[in-house]
Structure formats: C-alpha cells, structure tokens
Amino acid sequence: MPCRFFNFLSFFWNVFLETIFPWHCCFCKKETQHYPLCQNCQESIIINHFFICPHCNKTIINLSENCCSRKESLDVLGYASSYQNPILKQVIHVFKYQRIVSLQKPLSNLMIKYLEKTKSILSLKQKDILLIPIPLHFKKQKQRNFNQSELLTKNIASYFNFPTDFNILIRIKNNPSQAKTQGFIKKKQNVKNIFEISKEKTHLIKNKWIILIDDVYTSGATMQEAAKVLKQNGAKKVIGLVLAKGVI
C-alpha cells in the first residue's frame, strides 16, 4: 500500500513537473511527448537500406562477399543514415558533448530500424557474431562519463538479443580527436596502434563475425585500425555499423 501511494504521488509530481516545465525537442525546440527528440524530427531522418564496401563504396548485398577486403581490414560498412542530415548531425553532437544520455534511445532505434530494413546481419547465427563498441580511452571516458558507442551497442544487443563484449577491445592510447586532425594521412597516423585485444579474451573473437559499432564514420581510419587488430587475433569478418556516415 505505501508503495502504491508513493507511485500515485510520483505520477502527480511528474504531471506537475511536465506542466511547469514541458519537455522540448532538443533539435526543433517544440514541445513534445517524445523527449528528447520529437516524432517529427525522428521521422525526418531517412533510414538507409543497404551495406557498402568501405573501400570502393559498392553496394554489398551478401555480407560474405569479398569486395576489397584483401586491401582493407574492415570488410563491410553499414550506416543507418547520413551525417549530412542536419537533425542527425546536431543530435549526435548534443548526445556526445552536451551529454544528453537519454538520446541513446531514439539514436539506437535508428540503427535497429536500419538492421530490420537490411536484414543481412539478422540472418547470421547468434553464436557466430559478437557486437563490440569502439572504445574510448579510459581518461576520455572518465571526462565524458559514458561511451556513446557502448550505449548504442547495449541497446542494439538487448533488442536483438545479440552477444556483446565491452572489454575485449582496449584503447591503449589517448590520441587527439580525429575531428581535429586534418587530412587522411594524418588521421591514419593519429590512430596507428591505438587498440589492443585483451589477452584473456582472444578466444571470444576467433572465427567470429565482429560487428564493430561507432556513432560516426568519416575517414574510417579508427574503424580500420580496430578491424586490423581484431583480424590479427582471429576474427573471421569485421562489419562496421554506425549511426551516420559523413564525408571527409
């Protein structure tokens, strides 16, 4: 009974707060029931429906296809939408730098919808795949309090019941941000040897299809570097999965 009474009070307290401080969409600032991103803004983000070869940009229908994978460690890239979409671009920025953690839900939903649309990853056997987020260096994670890629991975994994591991891939160097590093060669140098695989966990990636998750893919240098160590440690295929793909 006291619990029910508390729920009753808490319901009215929330109604009171919402009346005094109505929720506003973090992009268009209109009042919304769908905080932090209103329905209209969510629907304005167009979901992609195919995978590509990260090297030559060719559409990949069959994930087993070897397009340019002899040249690159990352075999295939999937992206839920385009970084050129002004809503998505700003919302990702707000998520990461203003730390509106509740944005993880609508943003993860975009990736979930993308996977449902493309179906290819969903057709893989659960025992053959492992979802891994691109890790932050522990110092950066301490500053931000969270890793955006880890939150996206958690939501996707729990929705589809996919296996995941957050400690297998370790960022050993606190390199300067790729966004502040100019030019492809410098970006590649900036991420060289920044990742390591946890020695006790290498058996978990042997012959697995690794789904490597990040928020944004631009030059692809970070993802290629992570894919390189995963392949060196026995991963069968590495598929990049991001919220948004930008242009260099």
Q: From 2-10, 36-44, 163-171, 197-205, give the range in contact with Zn ion by CB under 5 A.
A: 36-44
Distance from C-alpha of 136 to C-alpha of 175, rounded to nearest angstrom: 10
Provide the terminal-to-terminal Cα distance of the chain, rounded to the nearest Å.
60
Closest CA to 179 of 117, 99, 96: 96
State the nearest-atom distance from the C-beta of 39 to Zn ion, in Å: 8
Does position 53 bind Zn ion by CB under 5 A?
yes
The CB density around residue 83, as the number of other CB atoms within 10 Å, is: 19
Q: Between 53 and 239, name the residue whose CB sits nearer to Zn ion.
A: 53
Does position 27 bind Zn ion by CB under 5 A?
yes
Does position 55 bind Zn ion by CB under 5 A?
yes
Does position 34 bind Zn ion by CB under 5 A?
no
Q: Between 34 and 201, name the residue whose CB sits nearer to Zn ion.
A: 34
Q: Between 59 and 167, name the residue whose CB sits nearer to Zn ion.
A: 59
Q: Scanning residues 7 to 26, which ones bind Zn ion (CB under 5 A)?
A: 25
Does position 88 bind Zn ion by CB under 5 A?
no
Q: From 10-18, 62-70, 89-97, 209-217, give the range in contact with Zn ion by CB under 5 A.
A: 62-70
The CA-CA-CA angle for residues 198, 200, 201, to 5°, reads 65
- The only residue of 9, 17, 56, 172 in contact with Zn ion, by rule CB under 5 A: 56
Does position 112 bind Zn ion by CB under 5 A?
no
Q: Measure CA 201 to chain center.
A: 22
Does position 63 bind Zn ion by CB under 5 A?
no
Q: Tokens 């998520």 map to which residue?
A: 95
Q: Between 23 and 159, name the residue whose CB sits nearer to Zn ion.
A: 23
- The only residue of 34, 35, 68, 94 in contact with Zn ion, by rule CB under 5 A: 68
Q: Judge whether 84 and 247 are in contact, CB under 8 Å.
A: yes
- The only residue of 23, 28, 159, 160 in contact with Zn ion, by rule CB under 5 A: 28
Q: Judge whether 73 and 169 are in contact, CB under 8 Å.
A: no
Distances (CA, A) of 150 to 108, 169, 219: 11, 12, 21
Distance from C-alpha of 162 to C-alpha of 118, rounded to nearest angstrom: 16
Find the Cα–Cα–Cα–Cα dihedral 52, 77, 211, 184, rounded to 10°. Answer: 160
- Residues engaged in binding Zn ion (CB under 5 A): 25, 27-28, 38, 41, 53, 55-56, 58, 67-68
